[in-house]
Structure 1
Amino acid sequence: MKIIVRDINQEVIDKLEVLNDLIHVIIGPRQVGKTTSVKQIAENVSYNSFYTTADGEISRSPEWLKVNYNNAINAGVELLIIDEIQKVENWAEALKELWEYREKGTMRVVVLGSSSLDLHRGLSESLAGRFYLHHFNHWSYPETLKLIDISFSDYLKYGGYPGSYVLLGSKRDWLHYIKNSIVDAVVSKDILSFTHVKSPALFRQSFDLICSYAAQEISYTKLLGQLQDKGNTDLVKNYIQLFEKAFLIKSLQKFSNKALKKKSSSPKLFPLAPSLFSSALDLDCDDEYYGHAFEISVLQELLKLPGEVYYWRERNAEVDFIYQEGKTIHAIEAKYKKSRSLKGLEAFSRLYPESKTYVVNKDNYLEVISKLSKI
């Protein structure tokens, strides 16, 4: 496969130029090329850089971070990149101390790591107000096309993780990679290693259950009942939140002008890549599957935008996605196959006449996605 430069690389380079007084943090799912991208970024900036990683069998001490940081400053390094930062003990506190006593403007710092939950914790507890966040998402269809010649229907079945594309010739090997190298690795290394979860085996099983309801509105009570576990809906909410923080699931709330109604609504659940959906079904993909997987691909693009994404439903009228940035509202209906029925968009437009509407299907997907990216 070819080596390509992701679009977000240039965004990071641009932000490093103008926001050199903040720590730049790269977060995102496992196995989407964050380390490859940051090395490409280092090769394409106009100033000298140094890359180091805290990866290893044992945790690094805060002293390791201090030594690398000070050595970089003394060597006149203008961009220091620290990979697997979560493997440094108390990394956020140690980095905060170094950053607060620095001479401003002397060095830019980029940190990244594979454990998203630990990174989130460090940012919220110690580095609030001192960092700029860069989200690296799963590979979309337009990006995947640059890497491999794949049909849209195959992308809706296998897309999201570039490392899996070399295994498309063997469904068994492909499934093994997604389930073991991606899902199980995230659950065991990113979640269970840092968070106490009631019944770890049940927690792992719940992922496939949640994926089976992809692009569907479902109550927490119904999910709890299917898990066949004693407890309350807080258990299910906690499971979903952990999967969200680990970049496996996205939970959309119902759009409403009333904040309380948004919070109390049943969520609409999405795996964050089509491959997560199909692997949970063991590649048993029928016509209905492709409709839901298509919605996942549209959501991938909307989540790159700076606003908030919801769904909307009133009685029998529904709109797949509501994208809101400030006071501007966009209603997007995702139809894998063309449909004459647009009663959901029509009903929403009557309630919110100032909104802009879009219909995206498999034939105009790239065209509409290009328009949405310029919102």
Structure 2
Amino acid sequence: MPAFIPRQITDNILSRLHSGKAIIIFGPRQSGKTTLLNNLSQHLEKILYLNCDDAQDRQALENQSLSHLKSVVGTYKSLLIDEAQRMSGIGLSLKILVDNMPQLQIIATGSSSFELSNQVSEPLTGRKYEYLLLPMAFQELLAHHGGFNENKELSRRLVFGTYPDIINNPGQEAELLNLLAGSYLFKDVFSFQDLRRPELLESILRALALQISSEVSYTELAQLAGTNHVTIQRYIQLLEAAFIIFRLPNYSTNQRNEIKRSRKIYFWDNGIRNSLINDFRDLENRNDIGSLWENYLVSER
């Protein structure tokens, strides 16, 4: 069984347990949210666990009458909800529980901020703490493996990234990354409402992967992908909301110029970027070492 690597946000979350507020943990799929949830459960009592990938578990909280929700929770003192973005109306259900059962500690995780954040932001205003769980940070790996051992792995981190499954399965990195990128990571994006052109999304992602460390022009991306500026902007927003990429705007003392100028777009994980261009060569055989270092360091900021 892979060793549990402590996450930096754990102590902060533990300090806020039993404060009368819900705890919401966002992050990409396979970033370790369920593992963290299981670890946090060791500090809780009488736990009801719901996985909203399961239809029956979703239905348990979709009836938002107070009497029904109380019957579901019963005498449990803790409610853990995994993949909460899959449940319609999750924000209102959690609001009702927080307001009427303050002794109940709620922890919910979600891999899709465009669904979960939109659902919980207004109903849970002033009733929640939010945390972001990304792939493993250097400081987390350093604390677990020690400086000597972790520094030896830096070249591999630049190529394969730091998703927990990748860290825990040396020798299987390429296979697991291709599975992660192809099957899991983009699931929320592909299934989102009226997204009808997965091939366009793949084209945009590949173009972005080839341009890390360079300024990105939406107009140029639109020409490369055979679409328009508005579509490019929408797809990039979805990819950001699924925690696959993030934008870093240029800095200018003139705000008007700052808005007009191109931005740099980075991937939250080097391994996902390399999977998209199918390039897992060792550093000494690559011509994008500088770009890999820049992406790694900026994502660690």
TM-score (norm 2): 0.84
Mapped to 2, the partners of 1:271 and 1:68 lie a distance apart of 42
Higher relative contact order (CA 8 A, sep 6+): 2
Q: Deviations over 1:275-332 (max 9, x none)?
A: 0122122125654422212122222232xxxxxxxxxxxxxxxxxxxxxxxxxxxxxx
Offset of residue 255 of structure 1: 1.2
Change (3 A) 1:169 1:69: same
Instruction: Note if contact 2:92-2:120 (Cα within 8 Å) is conserved in structure 1.
Output: no
Alignment of 1:49-198 (within 5 A): 49-58=46-55, 60-61=58-59, 62-63=62-63, 70=70, 74-75=74-75, 77=77, 79-100=78-99, 102-103=100-101, 105-124=102-121, 126-145=123-142, 146=144, 151-170=153-172, 174-187=173-186, 189-197=187-195
Instruction: Note if contact 1:140-1:297 (Cα within 8 Å) is conserved in structure 2.
Output: no
In the other structure, the counterpart of 2:20 is 21
- Larger Rg over CA atoms: 1
Aligned residues: 289
Mapped to 2, the partners of 1:165 and 1:90 lie a distance apart of 35
Secondary structure, counterpart of 1:16 in structure 2:
coil
In the other structure, the counterpart of 2:257 is 261
Where do 5+ consecutive residues of structure 2 fail to align?
A: none
**Residue of 268, 272, 284 corresponding to 1:272:** 268
Change (3 A) 1:196 1:73: closer
Offset of residue 27 of structure 1: 0.4
Change (3 A) 1:110 1:217: same
Offset of residue 64 of structure 1: 9.1
Mapped to 2, the partners of 1:243 and 1:202 lie a distance apart of 13
Offset of residue 110 of structure 1: 1.0
In the other structure, the counterpart of 1:238 is 234
Where do 5+ consecutive residues of structure 1 fail to align?
A: 303-375
AA aligned to 1:10 is D
AA aligned to 1:213 is Q
Mapped to 2, the partners of 1:183 and 1:121 lie a distance apart of 26
Instruction: Note if contact 1:253-1:262 (Cα within 8 Å) is conserved in structure 2.
Output: yes
Mapped to 2, the partners of 1:253 and 1:65 lie a distance apart of 45
Instruction: Note if contact 1:117-1:194 (Cα within 8 Å) is conserved in structure 2.
Output: no
AA aligned to 2:17 is L
AA aligned to 2:237 is Q
TM-score (norm 1): 0.69
Question: Larger % of strand: which?
Answer: 1
Percent identity over paired residues: 24
User: Comparing 288-297 with 52-61, which one deviates more in the overlay?
Assistant: 52-61
Instruction: Note if contact 2:52-2:86 (Cα within 8 Å) is conserved in structure 1.
Output: yes
Offset of residue 245 of structure 1: 0.6
